[in-house]
């Protein structure tokens, strides 16, 4: 359908489009004499009908008068009474858009401007696939579960705050990234109960769904690591955050593509709050709570291919027991090692599954960062060669960029007495496995968090 145009009223010129903030596009154009306001029409170029090469808006109309330009349709959006510059928000991710603008005077509407298009608004598909996702956790107390899911692009040092939102906000969940999906199993809701959900976000389709409930959906305080399209959930607690601590020995496996659960060989001792990482098809995991108020030094391995444990105390135990720590690993032609970062070295008065529940709870955060070289068996030693944290921190989260060995650590809780004043942290820092450079402060997290997870799609 053509916009006929009003004699003496020129079309807007120099229409341009850019995307500089999440899910938005900014349009600019030169103003036209005699124009009072402007109209913008836009559509996704994958929609039909669209804007043709002559600047005509084509669509199937049920109206009897085909010259009537619609306010909007499912294919074309019309915005009245706008001016330059114009910011369009809440656009869809990963699809192209086309735009035209017309001038409006007291006598009518001009012909359309030239067409401009944008391949996709930011963050682009590439940014979402290489970026660092920040998911779940608490701002302060257990009633403050964070819904916002933030994305950091390490290549442009850009945060995209609140890019999407967890349908059911949770903390201390099992969280991993598999191919183009974020997997969030279990965790504590703001009411303190375990969610019972397997929440999955399709990063490319920008869509949430609840998948099949599995055993890990009914736990919190578990570790999660992913490889080859599967997520391995280890240990955890099975009760609400205020109920008596009840650890788990479970190894549960979620196949993302097939939406199925299976059970791996269980560990011999109950535990929660372990940290895990995968090296050479083995899920290494260490530390955690081995009882309500006991911090462990154990270091175990689950061999994926054989569904077996690395028995006989093969892995070198932690020199200092920890829970609420992060375990990350990196392998290249120069080295293969894991780092254990931060955490809590002692807890007192903790009787419940929630570390911040109770009236006499206290814990001791640490600055300790240790490295263990592969093979992780007898003869290897945990060293303090990596840079140490500048602030004692528990319940933060770390991730490694597999492209370059950069280590990122975020958030956490530095308070030593809980639950009097639990408070999340916005710290976001970076080091490197190879150079072991001192931690560099980056732009803070958009939302303070502890009991969360940062991750890169595997």
Residue 46 has pLDDT above 90, yes or no: no
Strand order through the sheet with 428-432: 397-400, 406-410, 428-432, 440-441
Angle at 239 between CA 233 and CA 242, to 5 degrees: 125
pLDDT bracket for residue 49 (50, 70, 90):
very low
pLDDT at 423: 80
Tell me how crowded residue 242 is: count the other CB atoms within 10 A of its CB. 15
Higher pLDDT residue, 424 or 278?
278
CA–CA dist 123, 173 (Å, integer): 26
The band of 67, judged by pLDDT with boundaries at 50, 70 and 90, is very low
Q: Please state, in angstroms and rounded to a whole number, the distance separating the CA atoms of residues 74 and 339.
A: 51
Q: What are the φ and ψ backbone dihedral angles of 354, each rounded to 5 degrees?
A: -85, 125
Residues near 265 by beta carbon (within 8 Å), at least 6 away in sequence: 251, 302, 307, 308, 309
The mean pLDDT value for 29-40 works out to: 95
Residue 235 has pLDDT above 60, yes or no: yes
Task: Say yes or no to pLDDT of 47 above 60.
Answer: no
Contacts of 452 (CB under 8 A, 6+ apart): 134, 135, 136, 137, 138, 146, 171, 175, 397, 410, 411
Go through the chain and tell me how many residues it has.
458
How many Å apart are CA 144 and CA 148, to the nearest integer?
A: 12
Are 347 and 323 in contact by the 8 Å Cβ rule? The answer is yes
Q: Of the given ranges (135-139, 225-229, 415-419), which has the lowest mean pLDDT? A: 415-419
Tell me what pLDDT residue 74 has: 56
Domains defined for the chain, CATH in brackets: 13-118 (2.60.40.10), 125-455 (2.120.10.80)
The rounded distance, in Å, linking the Cα atoms of 339 and 368 is 10
What pLDDT, on the 0 to 100 scale, is given for residue 68? 38
pTM (two decimals): 0.92
Mean pLDDT of the chain: 90
Which pLDDT band holds residue 313 (cuts at 50, 70, 90)?
low
3: confidence class by pLDDT, cuts 50, 70, 90: low
Residue 17 C-alpha from the chain's centroid: 28
């Amino acid at each position: 359908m053509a916009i006929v145009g009003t004699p003496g009223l020129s079309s807007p010129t120099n229409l341009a489009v850019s995307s500089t903030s999440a899910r938005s596009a900014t349009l600019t154009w030169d103003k036209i004499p005699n124009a009072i306001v402007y109209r913008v029409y836009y559509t996704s170029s994958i929609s039909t009908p669209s804007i043709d090469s002559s600047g005509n808006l084509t669509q199937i109309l049920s109206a009897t008068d085909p010259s009537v330009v619609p306010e909007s349709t499912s294919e074309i959006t019309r915005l009245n009474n706008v001016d330059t510059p114009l910011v369009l928000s809440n656009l869809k991710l990963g699809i192209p858009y086309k735009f035209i603008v017309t001038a409006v005077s007291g006598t009518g509407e001009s012909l359309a401007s030239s067409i401009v298009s944008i391949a996709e608004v930011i963050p682009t598909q590439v940014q979402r696939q290489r970026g660092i996702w920040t998911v779940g956790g608490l701002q302060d107390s257990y009633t403050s579960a964070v819904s916002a899911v933030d994305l950091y692009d390490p290549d442009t040092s850009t945060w995209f705050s609140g890019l999407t939102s967890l349908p059911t906000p949770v903390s201390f969940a099992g969280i991993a990234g598999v191919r183009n999906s974020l997997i969030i199993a279990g965790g504590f809701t703001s009411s303190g109960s375990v969610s019972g959900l397997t929440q999955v976000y399709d990063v490319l389709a920008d869509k949430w769904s609840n998948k099949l409930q599995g055993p890990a959906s009914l736990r919190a305080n578990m570790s999660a690591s992913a490889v080859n399209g599967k997520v391995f959930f280890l240990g955890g607690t099975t009760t609400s955050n205020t109920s008596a601590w009840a650890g788990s020995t479970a190894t549960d496996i979620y196949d993302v593509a097939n939406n199925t659960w299976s059970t791996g060989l269980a560990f011999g001792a109950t535990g929660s709050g372990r940290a895990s990482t995968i090296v050479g098809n083995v899920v290494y995991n260490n530390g955690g709570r081995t009882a309500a108020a006991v911090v462990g030094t154990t270091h175990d391995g689950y061999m994926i291919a054989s569904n077996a444990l690395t028995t006989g105390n093969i892995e070198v135990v932690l020199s200092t027991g920890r829970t609420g720590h992060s375990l990350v690993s990196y392998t290249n032609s120069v080295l293969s090692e894991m780092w254990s970062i931060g955490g809590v070295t002692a807890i007192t008065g903790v009787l419940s599954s929630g570390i911040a529940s109770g009236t006499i709870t206290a814990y001791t955060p640490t600055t300790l960062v240790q490295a263990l070289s592969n093979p992780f068996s007898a003869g290897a030693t945990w060293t303090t060669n990596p840079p140490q944290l500048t602030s004692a921190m528990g319940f933060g989260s770390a991730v490694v960029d597999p492209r370059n060995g950069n280590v990122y650590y975020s958030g956490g809780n530095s308070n030593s007495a809980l639950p009097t004043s639990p408070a999340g942290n916005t710290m976001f820092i970076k080091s490197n496995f190879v150079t072991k450079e001192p931690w560099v402060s980056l732009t803070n997290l958009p939302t303070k968090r502890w009991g969360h997870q940062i991750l890169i799609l595997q």
